[in-house]
C-alpha cells in the first residue's frame, strides 16, 4: 500500500509562490524597471499570468483543503474556518485583480493604486495569514504545538476519536523493512 498523496499540501505552495511572483513583477512593471534585459512588458505578462495561475491553483487548493480536512478532523476548528474564509477572499480578490488588469491597458498602474495595493500587499498578506493557520493546524497534528482536536459529542452515538484509538494502543507496531520496499 503506497502513501496517500495530500493534494492540498502540494497545491498551496504554488499559490503562495505565484502570489509572491505576481507582487514582485507588478512592482517592477509599475516602476518601469529593467532587470537583466527583462523589460516592463515582460513583467506585465508575468504578473498577469501569475495572477491567472493563482486563481486556477487556489480553486483546487480550497476544494482539497475542505475534503482533506473532513478526512482528518471531526470538527471545524476556528483555524479551519479562518482558512476557508481567507481562501474565498483570495479567490475573490484575485478574480477582481484579473478583471481590473484587463481594464488597465498595457502597463501596470502605480503600486499605490487599488490594483497595485491588492496585488503587492493584499495577496501576500492573505497568503501569509493562510500559511499561519495552515502551520498551526499541521504543527498541532504533528504534536509540535497545541492540537485543535475537540471530540465530537454531538453525534448519535457520541464519537470520541481518542477513545476509539485507545483500543489499538496495545497492538504491535507495524515495522516496514525499508530495504525490501523497493523490490
| pLDDT tens digits along 114-160 | 999 999 999 999 999 999 888 887 776 555 555 555 555 555 666 66
Query: In this predicted structure, what is the pLDDT of residue 1?
Result: 45
Query: What separation in angstroms does the CA of 17 have from each of 9, 21, 31, 128?
Result: 13, 6, 22, 11
On the question of pLDDT at 182 being above 70, the answer is: no
Do residues 6 and 72 touch, judged by C-beta distance below 8 A?
no
Do residues 77 and 137 touch, judged by C-beta distance below 8 A?
yes
Whats the size of the chain, residue-wise? 183
For the stretch 49-101, pLDDT in tens is 999 999 999 999 998 888 876 666 666 778 888 999 999 999 999 999 999 99
CA–CA dist 86, 34 (Å, integer): 34
CA–CA dist 155, 74 (Å, integer): 10
For the stretch 84-95, pLDDT in tens is 999 999 999 999
Query: In this predicted structure, what is the pLDDT of residue 127?
Result: 95
Beta-ladder partners of 35: 38
Beta-ladder partners of 38: 35
Distance linking the first and last C-alpha atoms of the chain: 13
Query: In this predicted structure, what is the pLDDT of residue 180?
Result: 67
Q: Domain ranges in the chain?
A: 7-181
pTM over the 0.75 mark: no
Query: In this predicted structure, what is the pLDDT of residue 158?
Result: 63
Amino acid at each position: 500500500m503506497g502513501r496517500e498523496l495530500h493534494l492540498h499540501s502540494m497545491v498551496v505552495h504554488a499559490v503562495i509562490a505565484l502570489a509572491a511572483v505576481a507582487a514582485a513583477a507588478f512592482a517592477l512593471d509599475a516602476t518601469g524597471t529593467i532587470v537583466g534585459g527583462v523589460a516592463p512588458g515582460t513583467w506585465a505578462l508575468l504578473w498577469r499570468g501569475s495572477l491567472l495561475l493563482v486563481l486556477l491553483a487556489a480553486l483546487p487548493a480550497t476544494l482539497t483543503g475542505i475534503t482533506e480536512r473532513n478526512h482528518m478532523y471531526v470538527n471545524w476548528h476556528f483555524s479551519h474556518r479562518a482558512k476557508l474564509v481567507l481562501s474565498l477572499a483570495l479567490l475573490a480578490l484575485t478574480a477582481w485583480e484579473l478583471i481590473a488588469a484587463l481594464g488597465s491597458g498595457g502597463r501596470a498602474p502605480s503600486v499605490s493604486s487599488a490594483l497595485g495595493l491588492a496585488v503587492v500587499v493584499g495577496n501576500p498578506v492573505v497568503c501569509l495569514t493562510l500559511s499561519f493557520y495552515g502551520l498551526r493546524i499541521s504543527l498541532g497534528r504533528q504534536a509540535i504545538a497545541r492540537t485543535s482536536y475537540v471530540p465530537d459529542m454531538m453525534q448519535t452515538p457520541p464519537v470520541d476519536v481518542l477513545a476509539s484509538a485507545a483500543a489499538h494502543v496495545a497492538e504491535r507496531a507495524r515495522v516496514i523493512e525499508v530495504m525490501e520496499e523497493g523490490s
